[in-house]
Amino acid sequence: MADFHGHLSLRAVARPEDGVTKLAHQSFRAPFHLSKAYWESDTRTLLVQVVNPTAGILSGDRLEASVTVEAGAAVLLTTPSASRVFRMRAGEDEARSLQQFAVASGGWLEVLPEPLVPHRGSRFHQRTTLAVEPGGAAFYADLLFPGRVAHGETWHWDRLVLDLEVRSAGDLLLRERLDHAAADLHALATLGGSGDTACFGNAVFIAPHLASETNPPWREALHALHRDGVWIGANPLHTGAGWSIKFVAPDGIRLRQTLAAIRRILSVAAPHLGCDARKL
């Protein structure tokens, strides 16, 4: 099977007559495909679902995504199913993904994909850049499963690299890199008491008003989720204009429930988070 060199390019704008968000530009090539966008009037958010019509991510795949949200527009970008990274034989190239998200002042972007599931012997490198201009807002989430839990295959990928960089007006707010052998994360999950089926979540929340809130009321509610095998922590980013939220759960169901609870808690500060990602 030939390697995929897929691309996705989207630009969202607000219609001047009514403020409804629309896609002013869209371009994609396999393995990316777009479902019809849905306008959620209650939260005034455009729900955009990116579909992978292939089995998953294969050896040598190169995936590039660029999403821009202009002033006044609001977008929830999601996927309908988990992203599976399949086994790669010795000598085959790793799969790579480059994601670039840009939000203008007055814009909102939520990136909420289903979990990443690395299979036995897979090698995957994902690099994500999130640039939010002052006055813009965003919520970015990444979920990681330990492998094919139902098949008894966990913690057996060869290499997984997840790079994340967050900027505002050119200033670096966050740079982090997960580059661990599966056994390292397994040991961390075991140490935390989450067990062999532990799942990891990483989220970044950025909004203009956060810089004035040294201890926002929702932080205590987030930390209250730290119980019954779930570990969670929230810490401010540089300049205080955003927060980094990490969480670990004993299984995929609890991970999704924790993320849903996080979105529900933060929706008080960011009403667009009330948009139902499963609306379609």
Per-residue pLDDT, 54: 67
- What is the 8-class DSSP label of residue 57? B
* Tokens 């924790």, residue located: 258
| pLDDT confidence band for 108 (50 / 70 / 90) | very high
* Tokens 């988990």, residue located: 82
CA dist., res. 180 & res. 190, Å (int): 15
| pLDDT confidence band for 257 (50 / 70 / 90) | very high
Longest dimension (CA), the chain: 56
Among the listed residues 80, 72, 67, 84, the one whose alpha carbon sits nearest the alpha carbon of residue 38: 80
CA distances from 265 to 66, 141, 218, 255, 274 (A): 29, 15, 6, 15, 10
More confident residue, 189 or 97: 97
Beta bridge partners of 162: 126, 178
Within a 10 A sphere around the Cβ of 7, how many other Cβ atoms?
16
pTM (predicted TM-score): 0.93
Q: What are phi and psi of 123, to 5 degrees?
A: -135, 120
Among the listed residues 117, 133, 108, the one whose alpha carbon sits nearest the alpha carbon of residue 48: 108
Beta bridge partners of 102: 68, 131
More confident residue, 103 or 279: 103
Asked if 264 and 218 touch (Cβ cutoff 8 Å), the reply is: no
| pLDDT confidence band for 132 (50 / 70 / 90) | very high
Query: What is the H or E stretch that residue 199 is in?
Result: strand 199-206
Per-residue pLDDT, 280: 47
Q: What is the mean pLDDT of the chain?
A: 90
Question: Has residue 2 got a pLDDT over 80?
Answer: no
Per-residue pLDDT, 189: 66
More confident residue, 157 or 193: 157
Mean pLDDT of all residues in 130-141: 96
pLDDT in tens, 191-204: 566 678 889 999 99
pLDDT in tens, 34-79: 988 999 999 999 999 998 756 688 888 999 999 999 999 999 999 9
Per-residue pLDDT, 164: 97
- Range 12-17 contact pairs with CB under 8 angstroms and sequence separation of 24 or more: 12/46, 12/48, 12/67, 12/68, 12/69, 12/70, 12/73, 12/74, 12/75, 12/107, 13/70, 13/72, 13/73, 14/70, 14/71, 14/72, 14/73
pLDDT in tens, 165-188: 999 988 899 999 988 767 677 766
